[in-house]
Amino acid sequence: MNFSNILAALDNAKERHLEDLTEWLKIPSVSSDSTRKSEVAAAANWVAEKLKTAGIATKIVPTDGHPLVIAETPPISGAPIALVYGHYDVQPAEPLEDWISGAFEPTVRDGNLYARGATDDKGQVLTHIQSVCDWMATGEPLPLQIKFLIEGEEEVGSENLERMLPSLRDELACDCVVISDSGQYAKDQPAITYGLRGIATYELKIQGPSQDLHSGSFGGAVMNPAIALCHLLSSIVDSEGRIQIDGYYDDVQALSEAERAAWAKLPQSDDQFAKEVGVDALFGETGFTTDERRWARPTFDINGLTSGHQGEGVKTIIPATASAKISFRLVPNQDPKKLTTALQNHINQHVATGVKATLEPSHGAPGMAADPESRYAKAAARAIASAFGTPPVMIREGGSIPIVTRFQDVLQCDCLLLGWGLSDDNAHSPNEKFCVQDYYRGIKASAILWTELGKLNESQA
């Protein structure tokens, strides 16, 4: 095998690689939007066609929601099996008016490709697809079997995939899952992520009077549902950022001293961080650094508030209802189901008189911790160092990829989180982007990763 041929082929294909991603990003595959069902399906078809065209055995597997795309290259005796996992669905693009160029009109500006899904996750997962497709086009044999599982419900909790995973155990059997759906530590400082936070999301609704009431005639007579909501939400987290639900911190896995020491060496500046996100000062639970708080401490966030009059001008009403979309990030060892029970108890105890509170759990997933010293992690570190010119740092991430712990449990495999994104990529925000250079470096790192992983069993044999 002449690996330099493969790298040269990848190098020569940059223009096409960008065109491919642009084409895929044009499809508004918003999985949470029930009116976008056909677009979500189109995004699945796009990636299935891409894989098929390269000669990879590919199928589209229906689910109760959006379909899975499953593919695999031929088995290679004596080599490990890698499973690339990613998702073709994207977050909603709203508020649309805040996008400089259209959310589904991919546009390159200043070396970045702007579009919903650019970094989360179409651009990132496509790096692995490109490296395998182009490798196969050279006629050289792949050094290991590579499977693909590209799903369409990551942004809504991966519940169908979770449910179906046991039945796909044989088909997806692998030694190591490879996921690129996270970030580098900083520009030009790649990272391997060995931990993720879990998540639990809810909608909390407060019902007061049967309809909006005149705040003059009724103000002082009935509980205002929006006030009840604010009091209830405020009771969940104190002004220091500590969550007040009974037992919330009981199962929290403490940070090891080794981790805290390693992270303390990372180049980080709270001032710079604050500047990048546009705030005067950062904020969070006392006693922890910013990276510790966002990677390894549980949090509570309000994702949306809705009540009463939102239009122009004044409307002096007591709104009939008020609601909030809320979410918790969990750390490894916290159980989202246990949280739901504790949260419901908290609400029952703290809800005001004269209104009714309803808690609707949406999706939940536990956090994940992998071994930063595994042979797969070391192989990935070599691949990244070679492609990026800098060895990766070992970090955790604050986001959640709900399916990852399920892979570990069901497939009994290791897990590599190799993020090519950046913290200012605006995943889940307007003007999401992906650095075009990192897209290319990701493709190169992916190709090198296959050679590094291919060597593993041999060297151990």
Binding positions for its own copies, 74-103, rule CB under 8 A: 91-92, 94, 98
Nearer to its own copies, 77 or 210 (CB): 210
CA distance 207 to 229: 10
CB of 345 to its own copies, least distance (A): 18
Cβ-contact 66, 44 below 8 angstroms? yes
397 binds its own copies per the rule CB under 8 A:
yes
Given 171, 301, 371, 409, the residue binding its own copies (CB under 8 A): 301
Structure-block tokens of residue 7: 């790298």
Binding of its own copies at residue 3 (CB under 8 A)? no
Q: Tokens 């890698």 identify what position?
A: 82
Which neighbouring-strand residues pair with 32? none
- Report how far apart the first and last C-alpha atoms of the chain are (Å, whole number): 20
| Residue 429 near its own copies by CB under 8 A | yes
**Read out DSSP for 40-82?**
HHHHHHHHHHHHHHTT-EEEEE--SSSPEEEEEPPP-TTS-EE
Ranges within 302-321 binding its own copies (CB under 8 A) = 302-319
Residue 283 near residue 237 (C-beta atoms within 8 A): no
Binding residue (CB under 8 A) for its own copies from 7, 59, 273, 378: 273
Q: In the window 201-230, what residues touch its own copies (CB under 8 A)?
A: 201, 208-224, 226-227, 229-230
Segment 27 to 56, residues that bind its own copies, using CB under 8 A: 32-34
> How far, CA to CA in Å, does 338 sit from each of 158, 200, 253, 329?
20, 10, 15, 14
Among 66, 122, 197, 441, binds its own copies (CB under 8 A): 197
From 16-24, 141-149, 167-175, 286-294, give the range in contact with its own copies by CB under 8 A: 286-294
Q: How far apart are CA 187 and CA 425, in angstroms?
A: 11
> Cβ closer to its own copies: 157 or 366?
157
Interatomic CA distance for residues 137 and 132, integer angstroms: 9
Site pattern 347..386 for its own copies (x: CB under 8 A): -----xxxxx-----xx-----------------------
Among 108, 284, 386, 410, binds its own copies (CB under 8 A): 284
State which residue, 67 or 398, has the beta carbon closest to its own copies: 398
Q: Does residue number 65 form part of the binding site for its own copies (CB under 8 A)?
A: no
Sheet-wide strand order for 433-435: 107-109, 112-114, 433-435
CA–CA dist 18, 317 (Å, integer): 52
Nearer to its own copies by Cβ, of 292 and 452: the residue is 292
